[in-house]
Chains A and B, each alone.
Chain A
Amino acid sequence: MQSLDLFCTWLAATPLSQTIQSIEWVIPAVQTVHILAVAAVMASVLMIDLRLMGLGARDQTIMAVAKRFLPFVWWPLPILLATGSTLIVAEPARALENPVFYLKMGLLLAAAGITLICQIPLARNAAFWELSSRRRWAARLIASVSLPLWVAVIFAGRWIAYIQRA
């Protein structure tokens, strides 16, 4: 992992990284924007998953709830990538040499993937998850995998701060 070490050292020495590091408020401010974007994603995912599980907003179709909240799952992602990347530039080794960071990215891919699995059939047929009792159970299954995955993304995100580099 010597090349990764070198890369982190190089990145931390760049003028951009040095500037971020030298201005005290930048990292907490960027982390605040990051956590607010996470809040938008997490609350939206929760509202969709509760509906998929049949636990909330049952006066509305799955499609109506998905249409209302899915933009707030995808739309914050560029903000999360931008703020997350800024934090990496500021402290490269904190993330890039941290196994929990890669765990978080893997969990994030899985969580985004399962969101697509729910979303893509809906685009073709708005009632897709309500057509049969098998589909309804599939929707419940998707929600009960999705929710723990997103929770794990958040937990891993916080643990990055506590795990020493590999």
Chain B
Amino acid sequence: MLEAFLQSLQDTAVATAIREGESLFPWVECVHVLALTIVIGSIAIVDLRLMGLASRDRSVAETTAATLPVTWSAFVVAAITGGLLFSSNATTYAHNFYFLAKLSLIAVAGLNMAAYHLFVGRGADAWRTPSLTPLRARVSGAVSLCLWITIAACGRWIGFTINAPT
């Protein structure tokens, strides 16, 4: 059932074009890399503020307000281009350990973020300085940063465990 779905995904015109085209895959990958650098870099801005290591003169609420629109816009682009790259070889990627690990860790990072918005980040308006930022928020930032570093590593390892230029 899943295999049939992956195969039909891989047989779509778009996936075939990316797989067989001369330069479509690298171009889509370029946009994916650009988007993921913006996703991870902008998340790091928030995480480092939560941890009290950067933007120390700005409140947590101001930092997230200025940063998260950038993060989400880039995430949409990364997800679309990632989906396109996946579709080009769906049956292979779906069995790649690092691909599965990457997707799982993105889900965990999503849960961490949801927990922040629902519980951890309550009262963030008052976190004007690092010393006013509670431990639970610092931990949330550190967890997020570690997760995204690992996600980047998994992404890079996909390329080395599937036959593709690295």
Contact = CB atoms under 8 A, between A and B. Distances in A.
Interface of A: 27-29, 31-32, 35-36, 38-44, 46-47, 50, 56-57, 59, 68, 72, 151, 154-155, 157-159, 161-162
A40 B23 contact: no
Interface stretch (B7-15, B39-47, B110-118, B123-131): B39-47
Contacts of B18: none
B30 A40 contact: no
Contact of B44 (A35, A39, A57, A68): A39
Contacts, number: 87
Categorize the interface residue count of chain B: 20 to 34
Q: Determine the main DSSP class of B at the interface with A.
A: helix
Given A46-B41, A161-B165, 20 more contacts: A28-B157, A29-B153, A31-B166, A32-B156, A35-B152, A35-B156, A36-B40, A38-B37, A39-B36, A39-B38, A39-B44, A40-B41, A42-B34, A42-B38, A43-B45, A46-B70, A47-B42, A57-B66, A59-B62, A159-B30
Q: Lowest 4 CB-CB distances: which A-B pairs, in order?
A: A43-B41, A39-B41, A39-B37, A42-B37
Interface of B: 23, 26, 29-30, 33-34, 36-42, 44-45, 54-55, 58, 62, 66-67, 69-70, 149, 152-153, 156-157, 159-160, 165-166
